[in-house]
Amino acid sequence: MIAQDFLRHSESPVGPGGSSSSTAATSAASAPWVLIEGIDPEINAGRYPVKRVIGERVVVEADVFAAGHDELSALLKFRHESEASWQEVVMTPLGDDRWRAEFRVSKLGCYFYTIAGWVDHFKTWRHDLRKRIAAGQDVSVDLRIGATFVEEAAAGAPEAVARELRQWARGFSEGEAATLGERAQAALDEGKAALVYQHADRSHASVYAPQLQVSVDPVLARTGAWYEMFPRSSPGRRGPHGTFADVERQLPRIAEMGFDVLYLPPIHPIGHTFRKGKNNDPTAQPDDPGSPWGIGSEEGGHTAIHPELGTLDDFQRLLARARELKIEIALDIAFQCSPDHPWVREHPAWFRHRPDGTIQYAENPPKKYQDIYPLDFETTDRQGLWDGLLSVIAYWVAHGVRVFRVDNPHTKTLPFWEWVIGKVRAAHPEVIFLAEAFTRPRVMYALSKMGFNQSYNYFPWRNSKHELIAYFTELTRSPVVEFFRANLWPNTPDILPHPLQEGGRAAFMSRLILAATLGSSYGIYGPAFELQEHEAVRPGGEEYLHSEKYEIRDWNLGDPASLGWLAAMLNRIRHENSALDEARNLVFHHTDSDMILAYSKATEDFSNVVLVIVNLDWRHAQSGWVHLALDRLGLAPHTPYHVHDLLTGAEYQWHGDRNYVSLRPWDMPAHIFRVRRY
């Protein structure tokens, strides 16, 4: 009667969806026996891909478990988007229902991965058989049971393998010439067991859904040194306004300094209406060139070239020469328009109109940018706008550009970036996008999830030992490491941080060393950094006096005070030490001074180990004891080791985990040690 009562009530619908208890019972009865959860890495329940570059590992862990005491098996399955069949890796149990396996990515584009797990009766049988043999029990019936599991595997195996498995099963279950003990040992043959595992019946396996993804980028998306320069201010230019030919003449110098990417601010025609003058003066003089970010004039818009820079042929010659020197040219993508941009006339619906009929210019109160009209991503012509912006990127990709620095992406709707980057990278997975997104952490991280390969970050404002350790621990030890790659810039044309204003040459040197070694990608706003430009337009601000954004500058890079030699030395150190190619391997070491920061990076096999120690005090010498975590350096306790300073050439023999350092910032504010065992 009780059972009938439950069955009767099960016919009543439950919940707003109209499902019934009987439906729920049927669903529960057909649910997989093995549960798979706690996947790592997994971004937003599989909504976004994790990021890797060619050659990197994807280490996957998961909780795979079921009720009872039966043994389980689990597989990591993966495939490239161009492949129909899955490759499989047997997962290793770590204990407490945690499993792990890994695979390497070898192609650009998208990989899929998932996990399959099942109750493995054959493995359970072998596990129990060993215990029964050890206890001296009669296992004759157990051997016959095991043979049935082998027969099941043979049914799904190729003919040759099936014959081998059936012969093995008969041998240990029915063999008359062998003793029971010999048959039992034959049943534990590891090679034959591997064949059973390979062809096991997985019809009841649980498979994790949804399929997870890995977005695979070129190595340059993980590691690279960027140099920014305004083409119109090219050092040594042949006229009052620089040209692409002038930039081309600078390429050997930039290559000798070891930079991998040359980033050029917008190269397009500049508007005249409300053009800004020197130091962002709202009134321009007749000879003021305007801001390159005020894009568009009667000469064209985002697919046109400023006529004083040269022609499209000149630009493509620059691209080709740069590639000969192993330098990629990065272009700026700034989706905004001057009032003179052709889109203002051709697509007025793409802009926000005020009640008086005028178009809303850009503002960041109290700052006003009358020379820039932002695009209205809430336009009624959304598809037209999105297609138009995609066509801009597609145009430059078609002409050979493979790296883009995107201006203020956080001021545009996030779904647009997912759509446009997805479109571009589906056809050209080698294209790299750097987000210039100095914004709130969640927005910054969301942009990376949407497809940006790298991002600007808070490094310019992280200066104390505590700030640096906390921030870089977040970037290299928290889940964001799976999708966010920080490109470290100590300065930009928009940002002259206060340490560079106040700290003198030593501050420039220490910030450059930190940028080049804390992460794996970094950049400098080149000439201004080399010559240690440090004057702000007003006290307390971060805008440069005589900002190159508003005027053409003459740079004397032959000045003996230039720090070009230090950038060249750091880039050479980076190229010669593969440990510095990675950011995830960053390890901080304790020091007894708040002004001394110590950290290391090592390859997996410890064949390359780099230890960096930086004096964060730009005015005073600092000394103290560095306490090393020797195991993170591949060193044994109480054993001497060799440290070679790659900045000064000095060499020392150190002992144990506690060693003394002293750094005078006016000489060299840091050690970069190559660590070697004797």
Residues labelled catalytic:
407, 436
Distance, CA of 537 to CA of 279 (rounded, Å) = 7
For the chain, the helix, strand and coil percentages under 3-state DSSP, each to the nearest 5: 35, 25, 40
Q: Identify whether the C-beta of residue 97 lies closer than 8 Å to the C-beta of residue 37.
A: no
**Residue keyed to tokens 């820079």:** 309
| 333/331 Cα distance (integer angstroms) | 6
Alpha helices by DSSP H, listed for 232-380, are: 244-256, 312-324, 342-346
Length of the chain in terms of residues written: 678
In whole angstroms, give the CA distance from residue 511 to residue 499.
Answer: 9
Residue 508: exposure state from Cβ atoms within 10 A (0-12, 13-18, ≥19): buried
Q: Which two tokens mark 208? A: 């994790």
Handedness of CA 401, 403, 407, 408 (dihedral sign): positive
Identify whether the C-beta of residue 225 lies closer than 8 Å to the C-beta of residue 571: yes
Buried b (16+ CB within 10 A) or exposed e, 187-206: beeeebbebbeebbeeeebb
Token match 């950290």: residue?
599
Contact in structure between 647 and 613 (CB atoms under 8 Å): no
Residue 298 and residue 339: Cα distance in Å, rounded? 10
In the chain, the amino acid numbered 98 is R
Q: For the residues of 390-405, what is the DSSP string, one character each?
A: HHHHHHHHHTT--EEE
613/39 Cα distance (integer angstroms): 37
**CA-CA distances (angstroms) from residue 247 to 15, 238, 270, 554?**
69, 11, 19, 14
Distance CA 454, CA 433 (A): 7
Task: Dig out the tokens for 489 from the structure.
Answer: 């810039």
Helix (H, G, I), strand (E, B) or coil at 33: coil
The helix (H) or strand (E) run that includes residue 97 is: none
Angle between helices 190-198 and 140-155 (to 10 degrees): 40
CA pair distance 346, 296, nearest whole angstrom: 13
DSSP, res 62: E
Rounded CA separation 234/236 (Å):
6
Structure tokens at 31: 């649910």
Contacts of 631 (CB under 8 A, 6+ apart): none
* DSSP β-bridge partners for residue 61: 40, 100
Report which of 108, 59, 58 is spatially closest to residue 82, judged by C-alpha positions: 108
